[in-house]
Amino acid sequence: MKEFNPDIAPFKEWLPVNHRPLIVSGPCSAENKQQVLATAKALVKTGVVNVFRAGLWKPRTRPDAFEGVGALGFPWLQQVKKETGLPVCTEVATPEHVEQCLQNGIDILWIGARTTVNPFSVQEIAEALKGADIPVMIKNPVNPDLKLWMGAIERLNQAGIKKMIAIHRGFYSFEQAPFRNDPIWEIPIELMRLCPNLPIICDPSHITGNTFLIEAVCQKAMDLEMDGLMIESHIDPKVALSDKEQQVTPAELEKLVAQLIIRDNITDNNDFLEKLKELRFEIDKLDAELIQLLSKRMSIIDQIGYHKKENNITILQINRWNNIVRECLEMGDKGGLNREFLIRLLQIIHEESIQRQTEIFKK
């Protein structure tokens, strides 16, 4: 994979926050002046909100749905800034949106999942942002494609945007699940590994699609050391014009944040550190053994590939594969391994085995 090393300014240098998590909150959509101001004033009273968010333009699946008030909402957000002192942010999807936000004093922009998925749209926004000193938050694309997410970050960075935050809002899936969007946590974790200086916050509202699961997702995000949360909040969610099921009231937000357990990622407890060092040493040894075993297994796979080719035998024997899965799952059950995890692991190994034999057959 191409090196991924965007030039990112630490967010605490441009958005002073003296606590974790950073909280971005506000309604899904700016609907009217009264709703926006009432929500903002209630949120600032909680003492936990750092940035006020509200969508002015709403990308909707059907054309007859509420698509936002557009530029009509700028004076409302300006009044929020004046009366609460909170910086304000909104979503942009076109260069025209960018220009209007820059002209109307919006403090932070975000790019939504439906825009991130399209490199052409992201590039147009990046071009519109050249020369602008404004922070941009980038949501993951709707489909689980880490490279698309990285590409959007790179395009903006190449346009001179250094104040950036990535937003994990989950991924669309055809599978039945309790979530509106599957969190697939390994994708934001990999982004954190590839770019540890890039702040990442979680959007539990869009992951869950309801208010019942939001707290659990927030806690997991904190346990995974994410920097903050974007949570939709409405002064009266039951009358919201968009996504009413996933918006909490300001009072519910305050209670939710208060109940979060914020754990440290470092400690000076020597007993803990010594025990952790000992356990990690054991893990490192086992990892080395796993790599050696996988290497040895793939070497044998190569021998099998040449043997099949010489004897004009197909690469895949489905009965053999079914037996492997069944026997491994039986052993995994005895060893206390999660079946879903083991199936994913076996599939990855099998895909690599098929690929290696395919390359051999081409020779």
- The set of residues, in sequence order, having a beta carbon less than 8 Å from that of 5 and lying 6+ positions away, is 195
Q: Is the Cβ–Cβ distance between 250 and 43 less than 8 Å?
A: yes
DSSP-assigned beta bridge partners for residue 230: 24
User: pLDDT tens digit string along 60-108?
Assistant: 777 877 888 999 999 999 999 999 999 999 999 999 999 999 999 999 9
Domains of the chain, CATH where assigned: 11-259 (3.20.20.70), 270-362 (1.20.59.10)
Looking from the CA of 265 toward its CB, the CA atoms found within 13 Å total: 7
Q: What is the DSSP string of 15-74?
A: S---SSSEEEEE-SB---HHHHHHHHHHHHHHT--SEEE-BSS---SSTTS----GGGGH
pLDDT of residue 14 exceeding 80, the answer is: yes
What is the Cα–Cα distance from 225 to 200, expressed in whole angstroms? 9
**Would the pLDDT of 304 be above 70?**
yes
Q: Give the residue, 363 or 351, on which the prediction is more confident.
A: 351
- Beta-carbon contacts of 154 under 8 Å, excluding residues fewer than 6 positions away, are 4, 6
Whole-number pLDDT of residue 1: 58
Spell out a b/e string for 132-143, using b for 16 or more CB atoms within 10 Å of the CB, else e: eebbbbbbbbbe
The average pLDDT across 9-30 equals 91
pTM of the model: 0.88
- At residue 30 the predicted structure's pLDDT band, cuts being 50, 70 and 90, is very high
Residue 52's pLDDT band (cuts 50, 70, 90): very high
Kindly indicate the confidence band of residue 174, based on its pLDDT and cuts at 50, 70 and 90.
confident
The per-residue pLDDT for range 278-290, each reduced to its tens digit, is 999 999 999 999 9
d(CA 46, CA 30): 20
Q: What's the confidence (pLDDT) of residue 11?
A: 87
Q: Is the peptide bond before 21 cis (omega within 30 degrees of 0)?
A: yes
pLDDT band at 323 (very low <50, low <70, confident <90, very high): very high
pLDDT value at residue 62: 76
| Residue 149 structure tokens | 């997410």
DSSP assignment letter at 238: G
d(Cα 247, Cα 36) in Å, to the nearest integer?
14
Q: What is the mean pLDDT of the chain?
A: 94
Extract the tokens encoding 23: 């909280």
With a pLDDT cut of 90, the percent of the chain lying above it is 89
